[in-house]
Structure 1
Amino acid sequence: MTKQVRAYGGISADQRRATRRDQLLEAAFEVMALEGPGGLTIRTVAKQAGLSTRFVYESFTDLDDLVVAAFELAFRQMSDAVASAVADANTARRATVTACIEAMVDFFLTAPAKGKLLSTKAYGHPAVAERRLARSEDVYRTFGSILQQLVPDRDAADPAIDLTARFLVGAFGETITAWIQQSLPYPRDKFVHDNVELFLSAITTLERL
């Protein structure tokens, strides 16, 4: 006989667990924003979420598991924001690049803890080091496909496209990390504009490679 799982208020047990998991992930970002990565523990996350620590272990094996899940959530949210912005832009080169840069900049501005977790050096938790490397490859491939659309006369397998994608994404990752840490005294619009110009210059160079 199949065991019936009781629902409370029309919400199933699985739905409640999923909601608590989301609460805990967002709480982890809030702790990082308030206390920095050093303040992130099972207890601080549970407290921030207003839940017992037992609910943390209901969803995550340990703190490393929670941090990796938080990293994956932040990565998906940023990727979705960029994809949506690029899809909504017209096909002109400047419009596409501007949409891409603005989406990443605004993600870092509105969710700095998530941005820092994704960035290369701002959050050095060992549990996410391997995951960050794998996701970096995903970003390179995604931006490579955008470049191929912007420079359609180049073959998709041209190594210069991959080279340019890695150059731009790697450099921009370091640059936006410095900016969000206020090492670069740029207002938002000027930061977007100047990075768009740098990206466009690199794409023009790609056409000559």
Structure 2
Amino acid sequence: MTSQTPAPRPYRGVPAEQRRALRRAALLEAGLELLGTRGWSTATVRGVCTRAGLNDRYFYESFADLDALLLTVVDEQAAQGTAVILAAARNAPQRLRARTRAAVEAIVDFLAADPRRARILAHEFPANPLLQRHRRGIVQTLAAIFITQVHELLEEVPLSDTDLELTALTVTNGLWELLTSWFRGDLDTGRDHLVDYAVAFLLTTTELAPALESRLR
């Protein structure tokens, strides 16, 4: 007969699993605050735990190291941004211009709504080699959304699958750099002009594709 380890008891009526989830959420919020205000170069395990109001030992209950926390914070924000884009596209009229504007406005306003997000995009991604590498996966996700929307809205896609993928990566990377420059303060233009430009850029990419292809033949 083997003995079994007793299940952790609730503490003050809160189950152990829920307490772990609350501690993890507190660490993520502390990580976001540090990343989006002071910068990740200043982060330490103790500093994160102090901001989260936790003992240092609880950090390793949820994360292997600071890099693991950093990537989780960024992935959570990226997932929220992706959900915002998809919701805006889903709720917009099924027309290319309207859908494009809704998606562009959604991501600009999502980033602007929390200054920490804007700072992460404008300053932390360019400065952190780990985030620079991690950016590829986020860009690929956004490019996939672009491809899906093109297939959904155009009866006949004017590009081959390969060229559509190349286009999606080009415009996604381009818009990433555009938003990075704008949030960093390098561009002297307002939010509405920025949105108008981005929408026109995306529409030009899809609408001029047949003409461009015919010229290259």
Moved more, 129-138 or 73-82: 129-138
Alignment counterpart, residue 184 of structure 2, candidates 181, 184, 189: 181
Alignment counterpart, residue 84 of structure 2, candidates 73, 81, 84: 81
Question: Identity percentage over the alignment?
Answer: 30
Paired with 1:157 and 1:4, the residues of 2 have a C-alpha distance of 57
For residues 156-196 of structure 1, give each alpha carbon's deviation from its aligned partner in whole angstroms, at most 9, with x where no partner exists: 86222212211210100000000110111222222112211
For residues 27-65 of structure 1, give each alpha carbon's deviation from its aligned partner in whole angstroms, at most 9, with x where no partner exists: 111112221232222222222222222222221111111
Match of 1:162 in 2: 165
TM-score by length of structure 1 reads: 0.88
Contact preservation (8 Å) 1:71, 1:114: no
Match of 1:171 in 2: 174
Paired with 2:153 and 2:114, the residues of 1 have a C-alpha distance of 29
Moved more, 190-199 or 85-94: 190-199
For residues 124-155 of structure 1, give each alpha carbon's deviation from its aligned partner in whole angstroms, at most 9, with x where no partner exists: 43333443222322221221111222323027
CA RMSD for the aligned pairs? 2.3
Unaligned runs of 5+ in 2: none
Contact preservation (8 Å) 1:25, 1:70: yes
Q: CA deviation at 1:123?
A: 4.1
TM-score by length of structure 2 reads: 0.85
Question: What SS does the corresponding residue of 1:4 show, helix, strand or coil?
Answer: coil
Contact preservation (8 Å) 1:112, 1:180: no
Q: Residue type of the partner of 2:194?
A: F
Alignment counterpart, residue 113 of structure 1, candidates 81, 99, 116: 116
Match of 1:50 in 2: 53
Equivalent residue runs for 1:93-112 within 5 Å: 93-112=96-115
Paired with 1:155 and 1:7, the residues of 2 have a C-alpha distance of 60
Unaligned runs of 5+ in 1: none
Q: CA deviation at 1:119?
A: 6.6
Moved more, 126-135 or 60-69: 126-135
Say how many residue pairs are matched. Answer: 209
Q: Report which of the two structures shows the higher radius of gyration computed on alpha carbons.
A: 2
